[in-house]
Amino acid sequence: MAETRLIEISPVTRVEGHGKVTIHLDENNQVDEARLHIVEFRGFERFIRGRLLWEVPVIVQRLCGICPVSHHLAAAKAMDQIVGVDVLPPTAEKMRRLMHYGQVMQSHVLHFFHLSAPDLLFGFGAPAEKRNIFEVIRENPQLGLRAVLMRKFGQEIIEATAGKKIHGTGAIPGGINRNLDIATRDRLLARVEEMLAWAQDALAIARNYVQDHRALVDSFGSFPSSHMALVREGDGALDLYHGRLRALNVAGAPIFDMLDYNDYHKVLVEDVRSWSYMKFPYIRDLGPDDGWYRVGPLARMNTASFIDTPLANAAHQALRAFSGGMNHSTLANHWARMIEVVHCVEKIRELLHDPDLQGTDLVAKGERRFEGIGVIEAPRGNLIHHYKVDEHDQVTYCNLIVSTTHNNEGMNRAVKDVAVTHLSGQPKITEGMLNHVEVAIRAYDPCLSCATHALGQMPLQVEIYDADARLLDRASQCMG
């Protein structure tokens, strides 16, 4: 019998949530198949049923401790529709936007510096004990300190708008429950210019990495795909809080454009596969084989016509010029992510100077409805919340398509591409080889707990079995 091998990376490290990778090698040690398995079970779509509509924006934040604001706002936008509000008071809209920009900023900073920077600074094959934020701080104390303080600033924006840094209550159906007092505004304004300077420095790190390692970037988990994101209605500008759906094919031509996101279910289908608890969305008209797409920072850079803040727009144009069109490189997400950090800080500065944030008209009312859809651009990409309620205000239906779910097919393809390049023909596992596969996954900044609901912890080991299920080799995988 020809000997085959199964390599398992379990769990994938330095991501939010739990998942594993299985890599199948044939008798010649060539990669035959590689898959990212999401082994948690998500229960939120079920146990949210029966809850009262006003509870939902608070409850759904428990999906995630890293991006709770995204779920809070997407659910609040859906509940706005259910209470009959299509246009929020200016204070409510701007407070929510300020909250969202703080969220995207802190999440991107956390991912770039704490999760990805160890790979980018020390190399994908560096010893596992080297690849962590503590080594980043040891090697570059100033950079490490900035990473901590930038995230702290984003969290303070969230606290000022949502009431708490994690799992706040600021957004309510029809509006917001607070405005921004002058003292808090002035305290935040005193730091914003420093944050903007640091954000531009971080952008330079990400940009220089991609430009200086172009051969690696162009070959590492890089493949053509469609991309989808919200864009601002009318002019197609980047809009992280609200807009219409735009999907572009591999050449940059529109598949659909300026689509009302309330019609998302007319263009997107969620496929199910036996080996993952996470679904595989695709564009209905293109089918499951050709209709998959990617979302997230790079997808937003590909789909946005421009960015309405000057520093981020200049960076966006530089990325476009470097790419010469659509950019499909997995590692280019880091550059795109830092462009968005600059954009968020520019938007925070703009809003902090807006007197509407001290307004007192916080909540609007309208004619009651029984269905609502909220869509937002979360840090990791497009996020859809869809609810139906009954006459007693209890939820009867809930469907969530989170960013990581949108990217499921793309991540799986990246895993296989990198595995073929770095594992095929190798007779022995090394930790550095396995980390290359994880680097490809990390570039998407996946939030596996958003896409699923964890039931427990997973063992931390890599094992190889033969075709008769005999254990051939075992290696420990460090929590990098």
End-to-end CA gap in the chain: 37
Q: Which tens digit of pLDDT belongs to each residue from 122-155?
A: 998 888 888 888 898 999 999 989 999 999 999 9
What whole-number distance in Å separates Cα of residue 61 and Cα of residue 54?
Answer: 13
What whole-number distance in Å separates Cα of residue 284 and Cα of residue 269?
Answer: 6
Cβ atoms within 10 Å of 49's Cβ, excluding its own? 15
pLDDT at 9: 67
Contact 104, 379 (CB under 8 A): yes
**Mind giving me the DSSP string for 337-381?**
HHHHHHHHHHHHHHHHT-GGGG-S--B------SEEEEEEEETTE
Q: Which tens digit of pLDDT belongs to each residue from 36-69?
A: 766 555 577 888 899 999 999 999 888 776 778 9
Q: Which tens digit of pLDDT belongs to each residue from 364-377?
A: 999 999 999 999 99
Query: Which has the higher per-residue pLDDT, 35 or 322?
Result: 322
Tokens of 254: 């529109």
476: amino acid identity, one letter:
S
pLDDT at residue 317 tops 50: yes
What whole-number distance in Å separates Cα of residue 425 and Cα of residue 315?
Answer: 40
Query: What are the backbone dihedrals phi and psi of residue 240, each rounded to the nearest 5 degrees, phi first?
Result: -80, -20
Tokens of 34: 């590689």
Contact 384, 74 (CB under 8 A): yes
The structure's pTM equals 0.89
What whole-number distance in Å separates Cα of residue 195 and Cα of residue 189?
Answer: 10
Please tell me which of 21-35, 78-92, 392-406 the model is most confident about, judged by mean pLDDT. Answer: 78-92
What whole-number distance in Å separates Cα of residue 84 and Cα of residue 460?
Answer: 49
The secondary structure of residue 32, as a DSSP letter, is E
pLDDT at 37: 66
Please tell me which of 5-14, 129-138, 156-165 the model is most confident about, judged by mean pLDDT. Answer: 156-165
pLDDT at 477: 40
**Mind giving me the DSSP string for 428-476?**
S--HHHHHHHHHHHHTT--BHHHHS---S----BEEEE-TT--EEEEE-
pLDDT at 244: 98
